[in-house]
Structure 1
Amino acid sequence: MYLRSTAFWVMTGLLAAPAGAAGPLQVTAKVLTEQKTRAADGSVRVALVPARRVVPGDRVVFVLGYRNTGSQPIGNIVLDNPVPAAIAYRGPSQSSAAPDVSVDGKTYGPLATLRVRLADGATRAAAPDDVTSVRWRLANTVPAGAQGQLSFQAVLK
């Protein structure tokens, strides 16, 4: 199954349709930001809330949720999230599996294995700011009724 929206791609090699289209694999995308509040005792609590207004330097979390609403397991699922140009990738969220990343939209892998081609033809090691897309391949099938989520951290440039 291969689903795409402006927020992300979902692929399983069976079907192409826009994300959110009717089908057994339902995918949601949301962008959250950190909201800090100070308690009366002086402690600071950080909560993730829907991003309504962010300014350069603000940390954001992109969350992809998935759910199998069908009656059969779904396998070979790949979730792919383009990283907007105004966003700098920082890494997977603590509660999420590490994705493979891409700096060119073609080659994916761990960031440490990727190279960026320079204008003069030379290459250099890829850095988090070079990431243009993140991708997760779900290792297991998603049983009927099961759900999960994956996420990554970023900063508004």
Structure 2
Amino acid sequence: MFPSFLSSAAVSVSALGLLMVAPAIAAGPLEVTAHILVEAKQRATDGTTRVALVPATRVVPGDRVVFQLAYRNTGRQPLADIVLDNPVPAAIAYRAPAEGSAAPELTVDGRRWGPLATLDVALPGGGTRAATAADVTRVRWRLGAPLAPGAAGRLAFQAVLK
């Protein structure tokens, strides 16, 4: 069942582009750009088919997408204690960190954060069950070291449109 804004088979990516950036200490300007990419099959000149990431404009259920955050310190001082926090829209199921990206902390309830294997979901009648990737509601990354002036990076996670 899709939320009301996902009633058609194809969905505008702008409806999915939710992003929140929360540096714990704003010691200077932090520029963050969010991109949503989709896996697209492309035929190579040798006849093989390759999967490439391309900017998403519309997605359909089952499409694999990558949410990517590019960040850069545009200031003259290092930035410390940076936390990048991205909601996982209800129509999206988290899959894994994107290739080459640090693994994010995950939450299913907004209170407890950690690797998926450490999370559980409360059941209506009491008790819990192990959380699955589809239960993830937010991802976040904490940059471990101060971000030097002019320094930049990218973080990303894979997901699928439900």
Q: Distance in 2 between matches of 1:106 and 1:30?
A: 26
2:60 is the counterpart of 1:49:
no
Instruction: Give the deviation of 1:42 after TM superposition.
Output: 2.0
Q: Distance in 1 between matches of 2:103 and 2:35?
A: 18
Q: Which amino acid aligns with 2:126?
A: G
Q: Distance in 2 between matches of 1:70 and 1:12?
A: 14
Q: Distance in 2 between matches of 1:39 and 1:149?
A: 27
Give the conservation status (yes or no) of the 8 Å contact 1:8–1:79: no
Aligned to 1:97: 102
TM-score, structure 1 as length reference: 0.88
Give the conservation status (yes or no) of the 8 Å contact 1:60–1:153: yes
Aligned to 2:146: 141
Q: What's the CA shift string for 1:23-59, capped at 9, x where partnerless?
A: 6101111100011111242211222111111110000
Residue 126 of structure 1 is aligned with which of 120, 131, 137? 131
* Aligned pairs for 1:68-83 within 5 A: 68-83=73-88
Aligned to 2:35: 30
Aligned to 1:63: 68
Q: Distance in 2 between matches of 1:139 and 1:32?
A: 26
Instruction: Give the deviation of 1:143 after TM superposition.
Output: 0.2
Runs of 4+ in 1 over 3 A off after TM superposition: none
Unaligned stretches of 5+ residues in structure 1: 1-5, 16-22
Q: Distance in 2 between matches of 1:31 and 1:127?
A: 22
Aligned to 2:21: 10
2:117 is the counterpart of 1:106:
no
The structure that is strand-richer by fraction is: 1
Residue 117 of structure 1 is aligned with which of 117, 122, 126? 122
Percent identity among equivalent residues? 63
Deviates more, 1:38-47 or 1:110-119: 38-47
Give the conservation status (yes or no) of the 8 Å contact 2:93–2:136: yes
